[in-house]
């Protein structure tokens, strides 16, 4: 029989029907917004969004992306938070509780498990990538980017990837910081971290936007980012925009469902989700307003792909006045964004262990962190000593990335939409979301539009359509 107990410190237990105790609820709506925005804001906003915008032509892509956030991302975000709050436990137990409530197959708990596993696997390689950003803080501070040519910047990044010891050190540091926050619990750990990190992230972004305004190329960057040229759009661009809107809101990775389980009943899910969507998108756009003026000011290529942050921008920082200082600020900001996402990726696994086995959060973090660290070594070695060892043409890192982004997350999102739109009763969803025109739009979208869009994205990800 499924254990429905809940433990935060090894001795606080409530039944599933009783909701979360006070120490396992967010103190305020603002705190939840900061935490959920921190989960959504990550490397995807500051690393991926600018380069996919550059590759797909700028302003037209941004418009399609914003439409996808509005039509697909927000309804799914509302659905996932709603399932978490209704189930009141970790994703696996929440879905088991909901399956019992709505008298459907207990196998629906596998949807919760899919979120827990997805977040766990993603974090195993996310810590390694976040470690790159952390290492670049110190590289910038010591002037390692001064006067770098394109070839030298590529070689610098290549040396980092080729050094397993360095990758292990920086990735382990990211994991230890993440575990240190999560082990302290909801009030003392998650809340204090996001209350400090998220305002700090916005301050750093605004400082960098102010600096970008002094380059003389700020308007050119804005023009690239916001002036649509639909001739540069393709079917692939639209699918990329849809996929990025899905992933940038941290959907189906278990984090939003877990955070939703800590949300007090009186807080409006709809209003909160809209605020999270606005803030998440704002960070992505501000990152573009920082990056593109710097790229244009140094005659670099905005569509330079994944290397934009770790190869192209160091060239810019190495050539501009006060480049070492602002490079350091930029990579601090990138690291903060990565850490706020990392916290939400491991929280579902930790919550499951504390609820299932009634162990302390410290023990849960210790056990899950050890497994994750061992798993992360596969990603580290994918860039060096295991680089030639592949499965179906993919490295260990490539396999994890493909499984999570190509299969687990789209399937999780699809089944979240199906459960919220077709399994839950309309009365139950109205109890969670309220009534009115906004609810009717959500209900129609989650039943019909979201599933179709996710299926199209999934078929594209696995290569059936393209």
- pLDDT digit string (tens) for 117-154? 999 999 999 999 999 999 999 999 999 999 988 899 99
pLDDT band with cut points at 50, 70 and 90 for residue 305: low
What's the pTM value of the predicted model, to 2 decimals?
0.91
pLDDT band with cut points at 50, 70 and 90 for residue 387: very high
- pLDDT digit string (tens) for 12-54? 333 333 456 666 789 999 999 999 999 999 888 887 888 888 8
The two tokens of residue 371 are 């497994």
Q: What average pLDDT score do residues 107-118 get?
A: 96
């Amino acid at each position: 029989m499924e254990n429905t107990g809940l433990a935060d410190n090894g001795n606080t237990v409530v039944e599933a029907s009783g909701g979360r105790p006070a120490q396992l609820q967010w103190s305020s709506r603002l705190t939840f917004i900061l935490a959920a925005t921190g989960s959504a804001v990550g490397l995807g906003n500051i690393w991926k969004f600018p380069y996919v915008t550059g590759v797909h032509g700028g302003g037209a892509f941004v418009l399609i992306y914003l439409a996808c956030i509005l039509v697909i991302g927000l309804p799914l975000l509302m659905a996932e938070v709603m399932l978490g709050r209704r189930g009141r436990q970790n994703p696996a137990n929440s879905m088991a509780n909901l399956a019992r409530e709505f008298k459907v197959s207990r196998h629906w708990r596998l949807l919760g498990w899919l979120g827990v596993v997805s977040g766990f696997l993603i974090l195993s390689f996310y810590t390694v990538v976040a470690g790159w950003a952390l290492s670049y803080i110190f590289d910038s501070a010591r002037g390692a980017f001064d006067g770098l040519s394109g070839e030298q910047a590529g070689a610098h990044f290549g040396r980092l990837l080729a050094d397993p010891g360095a990758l292990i050190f920086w990735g382990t540091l990211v994991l230890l910081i993440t575990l240190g926050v999560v082990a302290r619990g909801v009030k003392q750990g998650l809340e204090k971290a996001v209350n400090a990190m998220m305002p700090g992230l916005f301050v750093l972004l605004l400082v960098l936007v102010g600096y970008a305004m002094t380059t003389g190329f700020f308007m050119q960057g804005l023009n690239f980012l916001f002036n649509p040229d639909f001739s540069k759009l393709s079917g692939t661009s639209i699918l990329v925009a849809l996929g990025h809107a899905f992933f940038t809101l941290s959907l189906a990775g278990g984090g939003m469902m877990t955070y939703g389980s800590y949300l007090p009943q009186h807080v409006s899910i709809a209003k909160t989700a809209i605020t999270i969507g606005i803030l998440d998108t704002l960070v992505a756009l501000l990152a573009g307003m920082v990056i593109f003026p710097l790229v244009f000011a140094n005659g670099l290529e905005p569509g330079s792909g994944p290397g934009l942050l770790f190869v192209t921008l160091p060239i810019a920082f190495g050539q501009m006045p006060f480049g070492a200082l602002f490079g350091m600020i930029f990579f601090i900001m990138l690291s903060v964004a990565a850490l706020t996402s990392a916290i939400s990726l491991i929280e579902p696994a930790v919550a499951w262990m504390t609820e299932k086995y009634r162990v302390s959060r410290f023990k849960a973090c210790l056990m899950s962190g050890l497994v994750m660290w061992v798993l992360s070594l596969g990603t580290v070695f994918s860039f060096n000593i295991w680089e030639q060892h592949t499965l179906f043409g993919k490295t260990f890192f490539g396999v994890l990335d493909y499984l999570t982004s190509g299969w687990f997350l789209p399937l999780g999102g699809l089944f979240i939409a199906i459960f919220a739109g077709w399994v839950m009763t309309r009365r139950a969803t109205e109890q969670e979301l309220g009534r009115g025109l906004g609810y009717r739009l959500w209900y129609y979208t989650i039943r019909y539009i979201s599933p179709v869009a996710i299926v199209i994205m999934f078929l594209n990800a696995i290569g059936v359509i393209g």
